[in-house]
Structure 1
Amino acid sequence: MGSREARVTRVPWLSMLGWTGIAVLLVGAFFAALGTLNQTLYGASNFVERYLNAIADDEITAAAATPGVALSPDALAALGLPPNVSTAMLRSGVVADGPADVQIVSNEAHDDGSHTVVASYRLGESIEQTTFEVSPIEPLYGVLNRWRFAQSPLAVIDVTAAHNPFFTVGTLELDARALKTGDELSAFTQTASYLAIAPAAYDFTYESDLLVAEPVHVVAGASGHVAAVVDAQPTPAFVDRVQTQLDGFLQNCATQVVLQPTDCPFGIEITDRVVGDANWSIAAMPVVTLAAGETAFEMPQTAGVAHISVDLQSLFDGEFYTEDRDVSFTVALDASVKSDGSISVQLK
């Protein structure tokens, strides 16, 4: 009897030891799982991968919200940028190519808890490699690692909108004058800086009925500073409309029945007496060609031919005769697109 009672009293202790062992195992498993999560899903490598994949998926808002991406006023000043530098390009529909086939090449941990992560990826047709410095921040729930970029990967793109303030990048049309005031607004060529998500590639261009710019492909590396020149040039429709205005002006000059039409590029001087109206016509119109100048599109001095027929009387012998001849002339002009889309033509 005593032996059975002893065996019975030992069972609770064995049970307690069993549950304690299970608890220890569970705690160990929890911390092991936590360590695995901190090395993988919440690791520095995964932090960089998520950022690059967000760009590739055109989730630009998410990429821009990644810790360490936003630039402080002091960081902007260090880059020579104003506090209100444009962030208009930090949106979806702008990036032409984002990083694809992302692979982590290396992940080096440092004594201060920071990591140096090297990522390889394809950007368009080329393979690129970028080094990111990643620093730890306050853990999630006190146990899961969180990170930030020690240096913002945002790029700065200086866009020169030559001969036209408007340009397009991706699906977005921008005006390089947006943050300017005063005399800067009237400049024929505008330059503005834009923050852009990086690494990524961008296509800049412009096209309208009157102006067109050849596409410019720009690759912006992480923390890089690059330039894009969007060079707008007149379309054939622009040239035709200037030609129409010039033709109309010269035809109007030809309606003046005097030897020297007012404010016109042609005329003649005759010493004999004029006894009838001067009849002008345009025998050959100047052909408009346009090239960008300092303040407008310019047509250089271009030859044309007017024709005059006028009745005269010789002061020498009183004889009546008709002067009937061609008169060569040249004309130059400036042309520009006004804010309402019409064309302003100024003769020089």
Structure 2
Amino acid sequence: MKQPSTTRARRRLRFDLTALAVVGVLLIGALGASVSVLYTEFYGPSAFVTRYLDLLATGRAADALHVPGVSIDRTVLEESDIDETASEALLREAALAPLTEIDVVSEEADGEIFSVTVAYLAGGHRGSTTFQVQQDGWAGVTPNWRFAQSPLAAVSLSVLGADRFAVNGFEVHRAQVSAAGVAAEGADPLPMLVFTPGLYSVTVDTAIATSPGVSVLADSPLAQTSVELQTEPTEEFVSVVQTRVEEFLTECTTQQVLQPTACPFGLEVRNRILDPPVWSISQQPEVTVHPDGAQWKIPPTEAVAHIEVDIRSLFDGSVEHVSEDVPFRVDGTITILPDGSASIRVGSPGA
């Protein structure tokens, strides 16, 4: 009579054990999924790269430089075809552009190296970059990571016509970032290290030169991008050059000789002058300023001088009063000096 009751108890026990096993499996699965999510979100290669990008996005350049694998030695620069003298002036908060909409696209393993591809919006420009990451020991039960390839890159910048420029609004002087210092030539490229990813906009706005600028998206680690920026003269600069040329020509008229020394005009006569000639400028040139490599030039421009002089004929002794316009052309070169001033040299006949 008690046998059916015993059978039911055994069946219930088997059911309970089975239910417990299923619950256990589900719990283990949930725990595994949770660990996987935690690993991906907080402890994996993608999380490591995301933290680095978050530092750039919040302007924490100094902290980003301390992320393992970011700092780079000069030997690696040379091996990557980056100038080993590249300046670190742009590795700062003031030179960073906005970085938003950071999103991990993929994570792929190749042996010990993980390739993490991230999409983003850098200064309004969409881009993507792949970073190389490897494990760097453990912190308790969680892995540490480092960049297997530094995320730094370089911009080799040539600014023609100006020694002072701005990168993302950060003011830079050529002498500050050139290995040659104050001896840097105006046409010499200026290699500068930059963070990737990042948009770097170069502009010029000085009393002498201006430019709407040029932008470069640094999206490839350990790559060097060459950028050339040709400036244009400001109206203020052209006005100053016009004034200096007029002053030079006016000074030439004070020489009471037929051929003023180092001046672009003169008059040849075969007879004898009675009194020193009197020069004036009847038409000043309309000066323009054009780029000339790293410097500036004054293209040949028409002008007119006027001479008043009495000439005695060697043949019959007669005297003729000459009042004559003398057309000439004036050109010149302009050199920007290390202190930012301009040296203007007006061309002479035959120059």
Counterpart Cα distance in 2 of 1:291 and 1:342: 17
Taking the TM superposition and a 5 Å limit, the aligned residue runs for 1:228-307 are 228-294=227-293, 296-307=295-306
What secondary structure is seen at the aligned counterpart in 2 of 1:41?
A: helix
Contact conserved, 1:161 with 1:229, CA < 8 A, in 2?
yes
Q: Which residue of 2 aligns with 1:3?
A: none
Counterpart Cα distance in 2 of 1:322 and 1:287: 30
Contact conserved, 1:311 with 1:321, CA < 8 A, in 2?
yes
Contact conserved, 2:86 with 2:154, CA < 8 A, in 1?
no
Letter in 2 for 1:161: V
Q: 1:40 to 1:304 in 2, by over 3 A?
A: same
Counterpart Cα distance in 1 of 2:260 and 2:150: 66
Q: Say how many residue pairs are matched.
A: 315
Contact conserved, 1:280 with 1:309, CA < 8 A, in 2?
yes
Shift of 1:110: 5.2
Q: Which residue of 2 aligns with 1:107?
A: 107
Q: Which residue of 1 aligns with 2:41?
A: 40
Q: For structure 1, which runs of at least 5 residues remain unmatched after alignment?
A: 1-27
Shift of 1:292: 2.0
Shift of 1:124: 4.0
Q: 1:227 to 1:318 in 2, by over 3 A?
A: same
Counterpart Cα distance in 2 of 1:78 and 1:111: 23
What secondary structure is seen at the aligned counterpart in 2 of 1:47?
A: helix
Q: Which residue of 2 aligns with 1:77?
A: 78
Q: Which residue of 1 aligns with 2:17?
A: none
Contact conserved, 1:304 with 1:328, CA < 8 A, in 2?
yes
Q: Which residue of 2 aligns with 1:89?
A: 90
Counterpart Cα distance in 1 of 2:101 and 2:54: 9
Taking the TM superposition and a 5 Å limit, the aligned residue runs for 1:213-232 are 213-223=211-221, 224-232=223-231
Q: For structure 2, which runs of at least 5 residues remain unmatched after alignment?
A: 1-27
Question: Are 2:116 and 1:117 equivalent residues in the alignment?
Answer: yes
What secondary structure is seen at the aligned counterpart in 2 of 1:217?
A: strand
Contact conserved, 2:308 with 2:324, CA < 8 A, in 1?
yes
Q: Which residue of 2 aligns with 1:170?
A: 168
Q: 1:109 to 1:267 in 2, by over 3 A?
A: closer
Shift of 1:143: 1.7
Letter in 2 for 1:66: V
Q: Compute the TM-score of the two structures, normalised by the length of structure 1.
A: 0.82
Counterpart Cα distance in 2 of 1:255 and 1:243: 19
For 1:33-63, what per-residue CA distance to the aligned partner results, in whole angstroms no more than 9, with x for missing partners? Answer: 8776444312222111111222122222222
Taking the TM superposition and a 5 Å limit, the aligned residue runs for 1:178-197 are 178-181=177-180, 185=183, 187-197=185-195
Counterpart Cα distance in 1 of 2:47 and 2:110: 17
Counterpart Cα distance in 2 of 1:303 and 1:116: 65
Counterpart Cα distance in 2 of 1:292 and 1:251: 26
Shift of 1:309: 1.0
Contact conserved, 1:34 with 1:144, CA < 8 A, in 2?
no
Q: Which residue of 1 aligns with 2:6?
A: none
Shift of 1:194: 1.0
What secondary structure is seen at the aligned counterpart in 2 of 1:256?
A: coil
For 1:56-77, what per-residue CA distance to the aligned partner results, in whole angstroms no more than 9, with x for missing partners? Answer: 2222222222111111333112
What secondary structure is seen at the aligned counterpart in 1 of 2:117?
A: strand
Shift of 1:123: 2.9
Q: 1:185 to 1:312 in 2, by over 3 A?
A: same
Q: 1:107 to 1:313 in 2, by over 3 A?
A: closer
Shift of 1:111: 5.3
Shift of 1:132: 2.2
Counterpart Cα distance in 2 of 1:266 and 1:133: 68
Letter in 1 for 2:74: P
Q: 1:41 to 1:146 in 2, by over 3 A?
A: same
Counterpart Cα distance in 2 of 1:176 and 1:342: 14
Shift of 1:109: 4.3
Q: 1:334 to 1:78 in 2, by over 3 A?
A: same
Counterpart Cα distance in 1 of 2:47 and 2:184: 48
Q: Which residue of 1 aligns with 2:150?
A: 152
Letter in 1 for 2:277: A
Shift of 1:186: 5.3
CA RMSD in angstroms, aligned pairs only: 2.4
